[in-house]
Chain A
Amino acid sequence: MPLKLERQENVPLAGLVAAPFVALAVTLVVGTVMFAVMGRDPVEAFRIYFVDPLSDAYTLQELVVKAGPLLLIGIGLAFCYRANRWNIGAEGQYVAGALAGSWLALATHGTEAGPWVLPAMLVLGALGGAAYGLIPALLRVRFGASEILTSLMLVYVAQLGLDYLVRGPWRDPAGFNFPQSVSFDAVATMPLLLGEGRLHAGIVIGLIAVAAATFVLGRTLVGFSIELGGSAPRAAAFAGFHEKRVTYGVFAVSGALAGLAGIIEVAGPIGNLQPSISPGYGFTAIIAAMLGRLHPVGILVASLVLALTYIGGEAAQISLRMPFDVTRVFQGTLLFAILAADVLVRYRIRRVEGTRHA
């Protein structure tokens, strides 16, 4: 019995709003089955995974710390995805930003440099990420190369670059041969917001980004041109918007925000350069962007939800001795469910009448 997907003429708004919640529910059901199969008590596992982290002041702070990079990267990705440009390489732009900003931190290390260092690092981080993001944009505009492939492959280039630097030129000479840089000076470190814990000023930058992106995407001609370019390219050309400029623009914004997230993370919770500076934020942020309906406020909420899977995953690793991959499975299931829910809202499945051919 062949099935056919038919575009719904009239997509209900309620369906689009409900889709993320349905996807979350589906993910939880899949999670229950997974816990049961692994021989764990699902109720107990859920408590450790999703409830306990919300009932503790320290983990609540941690939640915000983890949501911060997802938020910044996710907002940048929303620019790309609204324009129908599929930047999958935010992880690489994150690393590129971290490297660009860290260069200044290392160059001024041990000098009497003043408080200008951190702001300059953030600017460099954003510029580095933007420059790295512009590579797939350039390849697409000039050669028609798929930005999905090029941006993804550039992730590995960036990661290997980071690996080389922290094992080679930027390694801390007094670090007992550990592959990491020196710890950043105080002037090169994100200020903490509360007396104790790890909550730092990064989330403030994230919230500013939410406000700015909401305004730009919803109220300005730039936002309109991005939306129009993604929705109907020929109509956008007719309206007089330049497809190439939009492509460069969204990749630059996306790369800049990912780079900013990278340098904030390195100058914040991590404190120096290491071979691994991200638990896959650049990829998880794709889920945050989709789950948040490409709307900055939605992405804020989605980032918190996804941060919870990180924190819960860490807790489950410790108390249930479950592998960290469980977190990945959760995130993957969530992305799968949200994409499936979207398809089911926008399309309807129809049985095709038996077609005997001539």
Chain B
Amino acid sequence: MTDVSAPAASSSPGDSPPAVLEAIGLTKRFGALLANDHVSLAIRAGETHALLGENGAGKSTLVKMMCGLIQADSGELRFDGTPVTFPDPAASRARGVGVVFQHFALFDALTVVENVALGLPAHESLPALAARIEACVHRYGLAVEPYRRVGQLSVGERQRVEIVRCLLGDPRVLILDEPTSVLTPDESENLFRTVDLLTAEGRAVLFISHKLDEVRRLCQRATVLRGGKFIAEVDPRRESAASLARLMVGAEVPRTPRTVTHELGEPRLLVRNLTLKGDGSRGSALHDIELEIRAGEIVGIAGVAGNGQTALFEALSGERLGGDPEAIVINRVPAGALGPTERRALKAGFVPEERLGHAAAPDMRLSDNVLLTTHGDGRIVRHGIVSQSALHARFAEIVKRFDVRFGGRDPKARRLSGGNLQKFVIGREVLREPVLLVVDQPTWGVDAAAAAFIRTTLRSRAAEGCAVLVISQDLDELLEFTDRIAVMSEGRLTRPVPVEETSREAIGLAMGGALAPAPEDADAA
């Protein structure tokens, strides 16, 4: 393991294959933020190189500089050992650098082959192009049908379209930006096989991720960034997940205790036959959702994004109403026909996935954002009048107890970092002392320390007798701190099973659509 003091060797001795694309001392500053501070990285032929770092560590900035999307303030890029500049992405593409970004640039209304054609400079007949796509698909095991409309494809399929599009340009370097964040474990495994084929041909792959197990499985080298600085270049196969995490975070990451030391109480949330029609624009339909959560337990819902989790959250929070009052029972009261305020009055709390614009109003002050979910509690708002003193007292309490950090006295919500805003949003609910807490993506885009704090907070709420429902795409997180896990796929929910009785593989299968994450066992709850 190389240390901070020794920067990445640019021309390494002996057994290392030659670097194809190399960044040397790249520095980029955005205003007061030093996004990349003399970062060096060499992607070598035939290797899969991991770029590891937390959100905000500077991974995206580095990648954007390496493909010409933004220009470095200082430092240089080398391609095959000779200095190059990429004034724009087209220049890097011409040299053989392909990038698959997290957010796809595909047109839903067009077919796969039409989308691919749009990105190519030369004019080629669609059938000829389709044939080339078929060949590529065959060679690398990417299941893509050229004549299907992109709008009908799953997220995993769209990603494969993007990869095919890159590969048609015969790149020598392929950069994959957090490719597995949208994939099921099974789909990820297929992607890894494709990557292995690519490197076997001598291509270089840069694999950006914060999932340590994947990196250890797939990559021969890993560069770790933290706070915009190069921290280390290591061989991930010789590291443990814990040692990699330490490098990323710079400190020991506490694990959330998951010992259930308390008795489970009465049911706080009962969902029976909850069915919602899809509303076209967003949110898939829900089919016959059945769920029971009792006081004192944390139930997790796993699943790939876009399988109805948002619809389920909005159905539970009361933002989307179904017809049947009995479909949702909160704290023994039929709540299916109640709005969000009435459901909160039953001592339920909700934390949506999207912080800015859903959980908080971005352009309103943080203290005003306290009102969003507390206005019906009868403490801060009385007879329709907002008590400024009560509001600011609550605001100060949230900030203090949940360690919310920000500049200024009372900034707009927009100005907080993801982790701090999430701590605020969670703290806002916890201080309402709910007996049911529904949290969608509790730690999405949150740094490791804040994520650990949030998980511990939810755990201790459960210990105090709150029923907690956590919807997350992060399977590791769910396995770490929930008691039972259900899986959501295409609007259907499996029966929750105790974490001890299930496995990643079983859950992965269910995420792909196979029902029941574990063999049927006797009454688990």
| Contact with A221, one of B89, B339, B358, B386 (Cβ below 8 angstroms) | B386
Task: List the B residue with the shortest CB-CB distance to A357.
Answer: B90
| Contact with B319, one of A238, A355, A356 (Cβ below 8 angstroms) | A238
Residue interface bits B89-106, CB-to-A below 8 A is 1, else 0: 110010000000000000
Q: How many residues of B contact A (CB 8 A)?
A: 40
> Among residues 207 to 229 in chain A, which have CB atoms less than 8 Å away from a CB atom of chain B?
219-222, 224, 227-228
> Among residues 355 to 413 in chain B, which have CB atoms less than 8 Å away from a CB atom of chain A?
357-364, 368, 371-373, 375-376, 381, 384-386, 388
Give the distance to chain A from B326, nearest Cβ to Cβ, in Å: 21
> Among residues 115 to 130 in chain A, which have CB atoms less than 8 Å away from a CB atom of chain B?
none
B476 at the interface (CB under 8 A from A): no
Task: List the B residue with the shortest CB-CB distance to A228.
Answer: B361
| Contact with A231, one of B88, B358, B361, B384 (Cβ below 8 angstroms) | B361
Contact B360 A235 (CB under 8 A): yes
Contact B352 A238 (CB under 8 A): yes
Contact B375 A355 (CB under 8 A): no
Give the distance to chain B from A234, nearest Cβ to Cβ, in Å: 5
CA distance A163 to B288 in the complex (A): 61
Contact B372 A238 (CB under 8 A): yes
Contact A221 B361 (CB under 8 A): no
With most chain B CB atoms within 10 A of its CB, the pick from A219, A228, A239 is A239
B318 at the interface (CB under 8 A from A): yes
Give the distance to chain A from B379, nearest Cβ to Cβ, in Å: 13
| Contact with A240, one of B90, B344, B359 (Cβ below 8 angstroms) | B344
Residue interface bits A236-248, CB-to-B below 8 A is 1, else 0: 1111101000000
Contact B381 A358 (CB under 8 A): no
| Contact with A234, one of B357, B386, B415 (Cβ below 8 angstroms) | B357
Task: List the A residue with the shortest CB-CB distance to B345.
Answer: A240
A232 at the interface (CB under 8 A from B): yes
Q: How many residues of A contact B (CB 8 A)?
A: 24
B472 at the interface (CB under 8 A from A): no
| Contact with B88, one of A10, A240, A356 (Cβ below 8 angstroms) | A356
Contact A232 B362 (CB under 8 A): yes
Give the distance to chain B from A134, nearest Cβ to Cβ, in Å: 22
A232-B364, A235-B359 given; A240·B385 CB < 8 A: no
CA distance A239 to B362 in the complex (A): 14
Measured between beta carbons, the chain A residues less than 8 angstroms from B424 are: none
CA distance A237 to B350 in the complex (A): 13
CA distance A218 to B415 in the complex (A): 23
Give the distance to chain B from A31, nearest Cβ to Cβ, in Å: 34
| Contact with B90, one of A224, A227, A358 (Cβ below 8 angstroms) | A358
A228-B364, A231-B364 given; A219·B88 CB < 8 A: no
Task: List the A residue with the shortest CB-CB distance to B368.
Answer: A224
Give the distance to chain A from B350, nearest Cβ to Cβ, in Å: 7
Contact B359 A222 (CB under 8 A): no
| Contact with B375, one of A9, A224, A353 (Cβ below 8 angstroms) | A224
CA distance A224 to B368 in the complex (A): 8
Contact B384 A240 (CB under 8 A): no
Measured between beta carbons, the chain A residues less than 8 angstroms from B363 are: 231-232
Measured between beta carbons, the chain A residues less than 8 angstroms from B88 are: 355-356
B317 at the interface (CB under 8 A from A): yes
Contact B340 A240 (CB under 8 A): yes
Give the distance to chain A from B197, nearest Cβ to Cβ, in Å: 27
B119 at the interface (CB under 8 A from A): yes
> Among residues 174 to 232 in chain A, which have CB atoms less than 8 Å away from a CB atom of chain B?
219-222, 224, 227-228, 231-232
B280 at the interface (CB under 8 A from A): no
Contact B357 A235 (CB under 8 A): yes
B14 at the interface (CB under 8 A from A): no
Contact A358 B93 (CB under 8 A): yes
Task: List the B residue with the shortest CB-CB distance to A232.
Answer: B361
Contact B381 A221 (CB under 8 A): yes
Contact A238 B359 (CB under 8 A): yes
| Contact with B339, one of A10, A231, A236, A240 (Cβ below 8 angstroms) | A240
CA distance A358 to B360 in the complex (A): 39
B121 at the interface (CB under 8 A from A): yes
Contact A220 B317 (CB under 8 A): no
B414 at the interface (CB under 8 A from A): yes
Contact A238 B340 (CB under 8 A): yes
Contact A221 B372 (CB under 8 A): no
A residues lining the B interface (CB < 8 Å): 9-10, 219-222, 224, 227-228, 231-232, 234-240, 242, 353, 355-358
